[in-house]
Structure 1
């Protein structure tokens, strides 16, 4: 590809990304219901590509407008939209600090950003990238994962003592493999290196591959256990989702058809519906 063509392609992708992400305040309309004084007036989203709405606008890029947490698309009906309906103070006051590829080790820095905007409500969804590594050995050890989550939650508790925090569970990636490993499109996408610890050799039912997948599944269960414990140790201002995201049955209709891994708009809507706490 020529240099000129490369520049042109990057320019188009950048323009699409900006159009996809927009700002939370771009949502049309204003709340029509009486205001509720139990709803927060600002929020921040922490996490990885799931919370960044990756792949939901078409290209393989973040698309914040479709985030289950802070998105403003009608079809997602995010936490932001639901809260804004009851509290107009939320308008233009949602911030998404989630980053594709983020792991628990990156959560502390995102917590700093949430403190910086004085968020009254913070959502956390982390852990998929800690499990989705090139090998089983490269997965984040459970003890390290817990320490990293505790560090982030500790920062929120110190910096935002009055904020409400929601800690969501890690999605069931094993269930996704079960659903898609006989679909030629999913197998072709996964063979490009999507979550290799779980999805490598996706069509194989050899004992070694079965054992590898089960090991990743167990690690995700361990992460979810520690997320619950960390939230409960935080105190009454932290709610865990009681495994709600993990129980979402992600069929291929709920993931994008670029990588057959990340939730599409319908998948984001399902997460929003299952986790909304108010």
Structure 2
């Protein structure tokens, strides 16, 4: 909507709630292994990032924007409903809910071997989880606008870090085994099997995105899907943090904020 119309339709106070995983806690961006929420793309305060909430403040100067961050490091999509419950218990009543989820479903070292032999959340399980998460947001806060991100581009990120120290960090952390083309125990696969494994991870990313898009569509016009924009964005070296060579850097957080803002109704 035009800026003037958006301002007219927006209340004097606007509450933004972040849901998701360690990306939305800006893990590693303070130079240590831990959350650094001030740098997160959604509700962070860093001027270097220009978070979604910060962009709302700039676009709606007469509106007070408040924030709450219930994203939780390590979460998979199935855990989002419990974070919604926690937000409700804390008295959060958001007008905007951002959600970036799925990286751990693809990459967590805690993922068990599925029936297809890969350590990723099965597509059907993710589809159920995405539907449950978005449906719960919609039923809990019927008038809230949902800003829904596509999956991070893990394949592109791996292509950047796999020839350097990042490969050692990913291996040591047992991260993204399917993308890296290793077995569930970290054993190097044959070139043919490794290629098939990486291809399976790309396919699973597409399946996760389809599940998220479908859930967003079912939630109605108050759900803004980024159209796969985050997944389609190539990951460059500057966008990757050097604490663990896995999570976004401050520049990476800024890139996510820019993508999600552009995809949202607020930027129109």
> Which ranges of structure 2 fall in alignment gaps of 5 or more residues?
none
Q: What is the alpha-carbon distance in structure 2 between the residues aligned to residue 105 and residue 151 of structure 1?
A: 8
Quote the offset at 1:69 in angstroms. 0.3
The two structures have a TM-score, normalised by structure 1, of 0.81
The two structures have a TM-score, normalised by structure 2, of 0.84
Between the two proteins, the alignment pairs up a number of residues equal to: 243
Quote the residue 1:37 is aligned against. Answer: 8
How do 1:2-17 and structure 2 match up within 5 A? Answer: none
Describe the superposition over 1:117-147 as per-residue Cα deviations: whole angstroms up to 9, x where unpaired: 0100000111110111445534211122121
SS in 2 for 1:101: coil
How do 1:62-141 and structure 2 match up within 5 A? Answer: 62-85=35-58, 86-87=60-61, 89-91=63-65, 93-115=66-88, 116-134=91-109, 135=113, 136-141=117-122
User: Pairwise CA RMSD of aligned residues?
Assistant: 2.2
> Which ranges of structure 1 fall in alignment gaps of 5 or more residues?
1-32
Quote the residue 1:268 is aligned against. Answer: 253
- Bigger shift: residues 204-213 or 223-232: 204-213
Quote the offset at 1:211 in angstroms. 1.2
SS in 1 for 2:206: helix
SS in 2 for 1:150: helix
| Higher RCO structure (Cα 8 Å, ≥6 apart) | 2
1:179 is aligned to 2:160: yes
1:149 is aligned to 2:127: no
Q: What is the alpha-carbon distance in structure 1 between the residues aligned to residue 9 and residue 190 of structure 2?
A: 51
Q: Is the 8 A contact 1:49 1:99 kept in 2?
A: yes
Q: Pick the aligned partner of 2:203 from 200, 203, 218.
A: 218
Q: What is the alpha-carbon distance in structure 2 between the residues aligned to residue 52 and residue 36 of structure 1?
A: 29
Change (3 A) 1:246 1:67: same
SS in 1 for 2:98: strand
Quote the offset at 1:36 in angstroms. 2.1
Q: What is the alpha-carbon distance in structure 1 between the residues aligned to residue 9 and residue 220 of structure 2?
A: 18
Change (3 A) 1:174 1:194: same
Q: Is the 8 A contact 1:248 1:271 kept in 2?
A: no
How do 1:156-171 and structure 2 match up within 5 A? Answer: 156-171=137-152
Quote the residue 1:254 is aligned against. Answer: 239
Quote the offset at 1:114 in angstroms. 4.1
